[in-house]
Homo-oligomer: A and B are copies of this chain.
Amino acid sequence: MESRLKVTIKDVAREAGCGIATASRVLNNSGPASAEVRERVETAARDLGFSFSAIGRALQGGRSMTIGCLVPSLANPVFAEAVQGVQDALSGSGYQLLIASSNYDGDADNEAIATLAAKEVDGLIVTMVAPERSATLKQARRRGLPVSLMFHDPIDGFLTAHVDNFQAAREVARRFADLGHRHTAFLSLRFSSSDRSRNRYAGFHAECRARDLPDPALIELGEAEANTPELLAEILASLGELTAIFASNDFLAIAVQKAARLMGKSVPHDLSVIGFDGIEIGRLLDAPLATIETAPNAIGRQAAQTLLEMMQGKACMQRPPLPFDFRAGATLARPRTESCDDDQGATWPPSVHSLKTDLKQG
């Protein structure tokens, strides 16, 4: 029952019969101490179950050894994996992770950053609704707080770990176009509040233009439509001659399949679908999902590594975007109207799982 709620270095010093400075030196191996007193201090510390107070240390040392991390939501496995990647990169560094989530709300974003800053985190790893417009974020940086972004494209001199959404989306358009699709749509949740979605649409649109194809339809879904296949089916039905859909994430892509089934439409023969993110589950579906495969964990790791370097005072440069893969799948085929002799889902050779895309910029 030796349950003193807090045992401090003072207690250790008293128990060991020495000054607190000596105890500190011994326990930190940070200075001279006779073998004898060293022994006494160590046993005292062990007996009392002493451990340093990170708070005392932070106050005195000016560093909290804590990193703040803000993401929209951990319920989205992409962000959850990224945070796990951050953890992986931080493990062994001595830094702890303080997390916050905003539920995709821009005001909550700013509040969260302010809160994290008040906790005196030593650095910030952030995915938020609108970093380019967040005065709070810029102020934090101006105050000397290192900031590392995740998922965002480079902005305002912030360093970011990301995939090139624009190029990835062009790749999607290319895949559709090569198979003969002309009438396409881009499907997204929260289009207006996500720079990722906007950049994906921009790339998709640009590549369609470059090929003299009709502009893709832009469909922004609410949560309700996204989670209710019946509603989604209605929306799709109202769109007429569509043969291919680029879904801004894999969950949406799977929802599209479900909706198509409800409509009696066949994927991929009546409707081709390509997703985004490359979540593991897409591989395991009856009709493995064609998608752009990204590595959220790697994004988190890179963001954390960048931050660690910034905190060491190194001059850091923006790294090139992380690679994405186009993952072939059974949800992609030629449109039915273009060719009738070759529509048994032919474009998916099960042996080839993904093709690395070359990232020629521009």
Contacts and interface: CB of A to CB of B under 8 A. Distances in A.
A96 B84 contact: no
Interface string A93-112: 00011111100000000000
A179 interface: no
A215 interface: no
A251 B283 CA distance: 11
Contacts of A51: 114, 117-118
B96 A97 contact: no
Given A74-B83, A284-B255, A285-B286, A118 B52 contact: yes
A84 B73 contact: yes
A101 B119 contact: no
A289 to B, nearest CB: 11
Interface of A: 3, 5, 49, 51-56, 58-59, 64, 66, 73-75, 77, 80-81, 83-84, 87, 96-101, 114-120, 139, 142-144, 229, 251, 254-255, 257-258, 261, 280-281, 284-287, 297
27 contacts: A3-B144, A49-B139, A52-B118, A53-B120, A54-B120, A55-B58, A55-B59, A55-B64, A55-B119, A66-B98, A74-B83, A75-B77, A75-B80, A80-B80, A83-B99, A87-B99, A96-B98, A96-B100, A96-B116, A97-B98, A97-B99, A98-B99, A251-B280, A258-B284, A261-B286, A285-B286, A286-B287
